[in-house]
Amino acid sequence: MIAILRKNASPEAVDHLIGWIEKKGLSTNVSRGENEIVIGLVGDTTKIDPFLLESMDIVERVQRVSEPFKKANRKFHPADSSIDCGFGIHIGAGEFQVIAGPCSVEGENLIRIARQVKAAGATMLRGGAYKPRTSPYAYQGMGPAGLDLLCEAREELKMPIVTEIMDPRDIDVFIDKKIDVMQIGARNAQNFPLLKEVGKTQIPILLKRGMSGTIDELLMAAEYIMSEGNNNVILCERGIRTFETRTRNTFDLNAVPVLHYLSHLPVVADPSHATGYTRYVAPMALAATAAGADGLEIEVHDDPSHAWSDGAQALTPDQFNDLMRRIALIREAIAPAADTE
């Protein structure tokens, strides 16, 4: 349920209403836009009489929110959310960011790749130190030593780092090393204890869509994180498993405008895992940009044939550089017309 307040509602009256709702055992989510204040009611809304609420002086109207996701819902928060990732980098609400780097942190090559993606215009550095691999015999990642290499690259390049967390027991290490953005991978999109645990921090979360996850399941995963108090969630479309076998996954670009319609959270697209092949990454990165993604996550490696994971989908730094130039052109082409008033 949401209560949309009258424009002239005084701060005291708003606080009084919030207190009244919270006394009934519900929590509130207040969104102050330019033109309206929206109070989202979270919890057992049967305890509130919507007619009584609507009869209050400062309440313009009351609307039921039928979707099971509340805090992630655009109805609760009509304006786009902007997530602060550190180093002055914000994503969403018109700000577009490119996250690039190798699939896995492998060693000293990280800093070389990081310098090249930054020079090409990437604004955030990625690299997995803990890798979710289908086979237990495949490379599992460097662990804390990999996080240290990311931190060293961050110090030199002054850019936020994005890296996957797989186990709630590692959260203290991620906090300790001040990881800027924690990625929840596709395989953990419904790992509810992990989602709850990262929800207890305020660290931005790049939340990937599950391999066979629906858009609603992605939003419910975001809701798990937000219901614990962390509103810094960035959604990520990374392809879903379908009957198609010519690509690693099927890139569901519909999800970009659909997620924007349903939610205020920023939406990033990952054409690397969505396609699985270097040759398809650039066209789909451009398509995702044109579809209105707030950012891209792209795997880059300076020697893809020797990469320890996902070499088949890595761009070389030169390919990435050329792609960044074309992404800028697409961004320009789709920019809303300048306000001529």
Residue 186 within binding range of ligand PEP, rule CB under 6 A:
yes
* Smallest distance from Mn ion to CB 226, Å: 26
In the window 252-311, what residues touch Mn ion (CB under 5 A)?
310
Report the residue number, 223 or 252, with the smaller CB distance to Mn ion. Answer: 252
Beta strands in the chain (DSSP E): 2-5, 27-32, 37-42, 59-63, 83-84, 90-91, 97-101, 124-126, 161-164, 181-184, 205-208, 233-237, 267-269, 295-299
In the window 60-79, what residues touch Mn ion (CB under 5 A)?
none
32-40, 45-53, 181-189, 321-329 -> range binding ligand PEP (CB under 6 A):
181-189
* Smallest distance from ligand PEP to CB 243, Å: 19
* Smallest distance from ligand PEP to CB 253, Å: 15
* Smallest distance from ligand PEP to CB 152, Å: 20
92-100, 139-147, 184-192, 285-293 -> range binding ligand PEP (CB under 6 A):
184-192
Q: 284, 37, 290, 54: which is closest to 298 by C-alpha?
A: 284
On whether the CB atoms of residues 150 and 157 are closer than 8 A, the answer is no
Report the residue number, 74 or 238, with the smaller CB distance to ligand PEP. Answer: 238
Give dist(CA 39, CA 53) in Å, integer: 12
Residue from 132, 143, 276, 311 in contact with ligand PEP (CB under 6 A): 132
Task: List 99's β-bridge partners, or say none.
Answer: 124, 297
Maximum C-alpha span of the chain: 67
Q: Could you tell which of Mn ion, ligand PEP, none binds residue 185, using a CB distance below 5 to 8 A set by kind?
A: ligand PEP
Report the residue number, 75 or 238, with the smaller CB distance to ligand PEP. Answer: 238
In the window 237-266, what residues touch ligand PEP (CB under 6 A)?
238
Give dist(CA 179, CA 164) in Å, integer: 10
Report the residue number, 31 or 275, with the smaller CB distance to ligand PEP. Answer: 275
Give dist(CA 41, CA 1) in Å, integer: 5
Report the residue number, 70 or 208, with the smaller CB distance to ligand PEP. Answer: 208
Give dist(CA 38, CA 78) in Å, integer: 8
* Smallest distance from Mn ion to CB 106, Å: 12
Residue 128 within binding range of ligand PEP, rule CB under 6 A:
yes
Q: 51, 57, 42: which is closest to 1 by C-alpha?
A: 42
- Specify whether the backbone of 316 is left (phi greater than 0), alpha (psi in -120 to 50) or beta: beta
Task: List 182's β-bridge partners, or say none.
Answer: 163, 205
How do the residues of the chain divide into helix, strand and coil, expressed in percent and rounded to 5? 40, 20, 40
53-61, 180-188, 252-260, 328-336 -> range binding ligand PEP (CB under 6 A):
180-188
* Smallest distance from ligand PEP to CB 313, Å: 9
Residue from 101, 185, 204, 317 in contact with ligand PEP (CB under 6 A): 185
Residue 103 within binding range of Mn ion, rule CB under 5 A:
yes
Q: Could you give phi then psi for residue 235, rounded to 5 degrees?
A: -85, 150
Would you tell me how many other CB atoms lie within 10 Å of the CB of residue 8? 8
Binding site for Mn ion (CB under 5 A): 103, 310
Binding site for ligand PEP (CB under 6 A): 103, 128, 132, 185-187, 208, 238, 273
